[in-house]
Structure 1
């Protein structure tokens, strides 16, 4: 009976992105790219917004969704729960979460699918609010070091949610007799943790104050969407949110911002390959210090409305600090520099003039892919799990093509950028990691003149 229900629900959803868990890119490097490219909708925003659709039984129309593995897996989870997921076109989905089967969260199918995507953690608050219980298998995602769930669990607990952990099955179970507003000082500026607490507080009884909240544009988008649905959230864009709980939420329409990580990836790619590229419709006002950080690496960015033009660079020189000190690029919670672009900055610095210290503070395993870049001929000193010094080669010698494997989304694209700039042919295995975050990346880069074959 359960299998029959699952099959019926799967028929609600048609996905377009390749769903394989393997695959290979064969990349012939050394080609100059040119033309225009449009960034996809924001992956990190989409995962929050899709989860939020469970907050109401009314239809929610989502536009500019990226057609990528992580997004499609989360849509499949909603369809499995009984939500109507109507794929209007590749970037547009209508979700109606009217008839949800809470028991499905205990099924082997749900557990197997949910543990493969970290975004599933944001389904807890909507399910707690509407049904008083939820289940979460220990989520997966990128292998970039420890990514604790304390911020989620303690925030929901403060609002009146109880949780237990089954160590044998690696499953959390949540229950509540009713969430109640409270004051929460978050011990970590977690984007997904803040998203979970905000969604929980939106339908909680009374007022909730969240201090030290994440405030990146994608979290702002979630808050604005909730307000259109009938929530009462103040302080959007700051780290102090005040939320007055309401009885129910209605349907709405929402459009994703362009993906800032993809925009940064294209900037680095243009510089490394010496290409002339225009990135269209970037929503520059929501990019924060990303453009300035790449400019500090010597890359010229011409802003034309909401477009960013990167001219072909024969050379680009990393700036020094005002006192002459070595440039250091480090990640920090918004409005600091996003950790998702640290790998891109590192690979971009390989062919720059000058040196830079890349300090990845937030994740301890994200720099371990540099051994592959060193094998390609890059001059990089891995100081420790958090720091790497890149000694720019100023195009004195090209990187050389090698065989390698993608360890996570951002490192995978960094390796792809290196391969595009290298002399000879590179083989990149495990490319489902890239497909998790980048929509049809090989097809879109081929349109710019790249030589990429998917096997």
Structure 2
């Protein structure tokens, strides 16, 4: 188990380029299974979760060629569908939550899709019902082996239908969409997720020959086709990394420029950080954050405490609430952070409290942060990263803290952030991987 050793309290300065979007990559990579033709994908992040998924595709028989550091070609001409029955598949598929999204494409093209109960972050219940209920509505038969925690869907034919998703699940929408593009007839998906990464998947599928209307809305209409072809696709920059770097600049009182952010795809993210009092400026497609001695939290019109909560897109992404919580610890004013989607994501606050933050954990979903207004710095401690986003939040806290911090289990951070220590060192951070 690796560790980061950080000596905090240093102001950073410079430019940083966000990686390709992790959450988009996990969808887009699975879509290559829909065609026997070559698919070229650019701006793929070099992170652990993506590496695992590419390895899983190779084990399925997909021909993978690395063309550049972040560019790959894929050809799923000779997929070994029987690999799904192997013990090797059950072990590898279990280690990655993103593996769930191979089921839709395999079901569409080969009439079967299997997956062991996938892993990932330990942030509370992340049920898969939406995925499988959607497949069943398309005509698939669902079976579950409770002993091995193994999910199976099979169908000789998929037929389009109307469905209203019980939740606007991003991965659920993506999985059902990839099955529906090759179903017979018309599929209508209401309460579909519509975040930019889902839109990217839709646009890629359309270039492959799919017929999809309503892209960018929560009502998708898909006319099934018999065949999908190859394409090229360039992924968006990772909006979660961009938000993390905004928070890093504020906490460390640093002047940082985040390059090539696809600003128009960021939704509420810049505005939410502005509500915390953080100054940021759009410069073309870059974000400039000036060195800022202090930042004051906005309040509602009636003067009541600011509440920041997550919601399905175009609401604020839950993946940035951990960053918001850390940034609020040094603000002037108080913030109620309400994590609605996952009941265990706020449990890392005990480590921030040990560092000197003033936080009241109200319940598994809500935490009140009383900003210190830099009256006292956080102090370095030894801690363990519980998940990707909490891990980076603790890393940001450590970079702003007095003294030395050690963060263990940094494999969690590696799952979502590419070469993070070297990129931070180029900004002036004192961070070493042990």
CA root-mean-square deviation: 0.5
**How much does 1:318 deviate?**
0.3
In structure 2, the partner of 1:393 is: 372
In structure 1, the partner of 2:288 is: 309
Hey, what's the Cα distance between the residues in 2 that align with 1:191 and 1:366?
18
Hey, what's the Cα distance between the residues in 1 that align with 2:87 and 2:288?
48
The answer (yes or no) to whether the contact 2:294–2:332 under 8 Å persists in 1 is yes
Question: Of 55, 58, 67, which aligns to 1:79?
Answer: 58
- Give the secondary structure class of the aligned counterpart of 2:329: helix
Hey, what's the Cα distance between the residues in 2 that align with 1:32 and 1:110?
46
Hey, what's the Cα distance between the residues in 1 that align with 2:375 and 2:212?
54
In structure 1, the partner of 2:408 is: 429
Question: Of 334, 341, 358, which aligns to 2:313?
Answer: 334
Hey, what's the Cα distance between the residues in 2 that align with 1:380 and 1:232?
49
Which deviations, in whole Å up to 9, do the C-alpha atoms of 1:323-344 show, x marking residues without a partner? 1110000000000000000000
- Give the secondary structure class of the aligned counterpart of 1:351: coil
**How much does 1:106 deviate?**
1.4
In structure 1, the partner of 2:97 is: 118
Residue 272 (structure 1) aligned with residue 251 (structure 2): yes
Hey, what's the Cα distance between the residues in 2 that align with 1:24 and 1:185?
45
- Give the secondary structure class of the aligned counterpart of 1:323: coil
Residue 293 (structure 1) aligned with residue 272 (structure 2): yes
In structure 1, the partner of 2:298 is: 319
Which deviations, in whole Å up to 9, do the C-alpha atoms of 1:416-440 show, x marking residues without a partner? 0000000000000000000000000
- Give the secondary structure class of the aligned counterpart of 1:423: coil
In structure 2, the partner of 1:452 is: 431
Question: Of 247, 252, 258, which aligns to 2:231?
Answer: 252
Q: Where in structure 1 are there 5+ consecutive unaligned residues?
A: 1-21
In structure 2, the partner of 1:19 is: none
**How much does 1:129 deviate?**
1.2
Which deviations, in whole Å up to 9, do the C-alpha atoms of 1:98-126 show, x marking residues without a partner? 00001111111111111111111100011
Hey, what's the Cα distance between the residues in 1 that align with 2:222 and 2:110?
21
Residue 89 (structure 1) aligned with residue 60 (structure 2): no
Hey, what's the Cα distance between the residues in 1 that align with 2:180 and 2:60?
23
Which deviations, in whole Å up to 9, do the C-alpha atoms of 1:183-237 show, x marking residues without a partner? 0110101000000111111000000000000000000000000000000000000
Hey, what's the Cα distance between the residues in 1 that align with 2:266 and 2:298?
21
Range that drifts further, 128-137 or 407-416: 128-137
Equivalenced residue count is 434
When the two structures are superposed, what TM-score results if normalisation uses the length of structure 2? Answer: 1.00
The answer (yes or no) to whether the contact 2:47–2:415 under 8 Å persists in 1 is yes
Q: Where in structure 2 are there 5+ consecutive unaligned residues?
A: none
Hey, what's the Cα distance between the residues in 2 that align with 1:109 and 1:404?
33
Residue 128 (structure 1) aligned with residue 107 (structure 2): yes
Hey, what's the Cα distance between the residues in 2 that align with 1:283 and 1:371?
35
Residue 210 (structure 1) aligned with residue 210 (structure 2): no
**How much does 1:355 deviate?**
0.4
Which deviations, in whole Å up to 9, do the C-alpha atoms of 1:56-89 show, x marking residues without a partner? 0000000000000000100000000000011112
- Give the secondary structure class of the aligned counterpart of 1:334: coil
Question: Of 199, 202, 221, which aligns to 1:220?
Answer: 199
In structure 2, the partner of 1:346 is: 325
In structure 2, the partner of 1:383 is: 362
When the two structures are superposed, what TM-score results if normalisation uses the length of structure 1? Answer: 0.95
**How much does 1:133 deviate?**
1.1
In structure 2, the partner of 1:27 is: 6
Question: Of 179, 194, 198, which aligns to 2:173?
Answer: 194
Hey, what's the Cα distance between the residues in 2 that align with 1:89 and 1:112?
29
- Give the secondary structure class of the aligned counterpart of 2:151: strand
**How much does 1:345 deviate?**
0.1
The answer (yes or no) to whether the contact 2:254–2:292 under 8 Å persists in 1 is yes
Counterpart mapping for 1:407-426 below 5 A: 407-426=386-405
Hey, what's the Cα distance between the residues in 1 that align with 2:111 and 2:224?
16
Residue 51 (structure 1) aligned with residue 30 (structure 2): yes
**How much does 1:359 deviate?**
0.3
In structure 2, the partner of 1:16 is: none
Hey, what's the Cα distance between the residues in 2 that align with 1:176 and 1:62?
29
In structure 2, the partner of 1:104 is: 83
In structure 1, the partner of 2:158 is: 179
Hey, what's the Cα distance between the residues in 1 that align with 2:391 and 2:234?
27
- Give the secondary structure class of the aligned counterpart of 2:229: coil
The answer (yes or no) to whether the contact 2:135–2:153 under 8 Å persists in 1 is no
- Give the secondary structure class of the aligned counterpart of 2:10: coil
